[in-house]
Amino acid sequence: MQKKDIDWSELGFSYIKTDKRYISYWRNGRWDDGQLVEDNKITISEGSTCLHYAQECFEGLKAYSTQDGGIQLFRPDENAKRMQRGCEKLLMPTVATEKFIEACAQVVRANEAWIPPYGSGATLYLRPYIIGIGDNIGSKPASEYIFSIFVLPVGSGYKDKLRPVNYIVTEQDRAAAHGTGAIKVGGNYAASLQANAEAASRGFAGCLFLDPVTHTKIDEAGGANFFGVTKDNKFVTPYSPSILPGITKMSLMQVARDYCAMEALETDIYIDKIDQLAEAGICGTAKLATPIGRLEYRGNPHVFYSETEAGPVITKLYDTLFGIQTGDIEAPAGWIYKI
């Protein structure tokens, strides 16, 4: 297989049109078998519910090249299940876990030339999504849907080693306490664009959202989960009904326990108690984990470990989980799906 002529080390997180995408339609109460197509444009009715009522959810996962030339997905069953929960909440038809994983495998195989090689640091990102389509106007679920997956090679975000970024705590909320915060829907992202743009305009890499009820506890970053390492070496991450249950976060908890002999727990992390954290960061599929150097809250800056260097625990967690994802370190049972 001839790989594409790409400088894998220069890749960021930008759209690249790869060769094939998977698309399946829900009509007359069932999904069709789905197919791989070349066209990256979809034609949908102006009455599509995804356009007006945000009847849409998506996923993000990756395929990794291993040293022995294999390709593997990381916990795709968890993405399938999370998407099912999103579909149930938005009254959309679910995609069975087997169909979801098989579609992932098909689209990865069909774009083999785009899969970054082992050791490049780059990976193949998969973007599954489900949208309500068809001729509708009233505020009710669509009768037709598209389930599609496209893929693109993405960089690690790090040239050589982990680098901390600076974050600010926003006064805005991304999701309601018992709303859609725990499902991966575009609406949450639309609601967080302004706060993120404001953070960027002030020179921050992004913003953290507080819990929408009391505004005293850290929720998450709106596209990545927050975690910390306490001064007595516990892995902590917020527990909240308004955050997205990240697969990276769950995996890091288990890595902390089983590979680093740390205690790991979901708990309240009060914004006025962050000096209890020796290290802090955000985590998600796209960049795995990024240390937060400085966090600003109401004009007060707080530096966790360092503004220029990643802390030792985050570095160990990162290296271990990336090693598991790329097959260098033995994974817990069920985490790896070989293609």
Q: Which active-site residues does the annotation give? A: 184
Based on CB atoms, which residue is closest to ligand PLP, 110 or 229? Answer: 229
Residue 160: Cβ-neighbour burial (10 angstroms; 0-12, 13-18, 19+): exposed
Binding residues among 23-82 for ligand PLP as defined by CB under 6 A: 60
Q: Which helix (H) or strand (E) holds 23?
A: strand 21-27
> 31 with 147: CB under 8 angstroms?
yes
Based on CB atoms, which residue is closest to ligand PLP, 94 or 136? Answer: 94
Report how far apart, in Å, the C-alpha atoms of 2 and of each of 6, 37, 114, 118 are. Answer: 11, 21, 9, 15
Beta strand 71-74 pairing with 123-133: unpaired
d(CA 246, CA 180): 14
Task: Identify which of 61, 242, 229 has the alpha carbon closest to the alpha carbon of residue 152.
Answer: 61
> 24 with 147: CB under 8 angstroms?
yes
Binding ligand PLP by CB under 6 A: which of 86, 222, 238, 281?
A: 222
Site size toward ligand PLP (CB under 6 A) is: 15
Binding residues among 279-308 for ligand PLP as defined by CB under 6 A: 284-285
Binding residues among 124-153 for ligand PLP as defined by CB under 6 A: none
Instruction: Tell me which stretch binds ligand PLP (CB under 6 A): 106-114, 217-225, 262-270, 330-338.
Output: 217-225
Instruction: Tell me which stretch binds ligand PLP (CB under 6 A): 92-100, 110-118, 222-230, 319-327.
Output: 222-230
* String of contacts with ligand PLP for each residue 246-265, x by CB under 6 A: xxxx----------------
Residue 244 makes contact with ligand PLP by CB under 6 A: yes
Residues found near ligand PLP in the complex (CB under 6 A): 60, 184, 188, 220, 222-225, 244, 246-249, 284-285
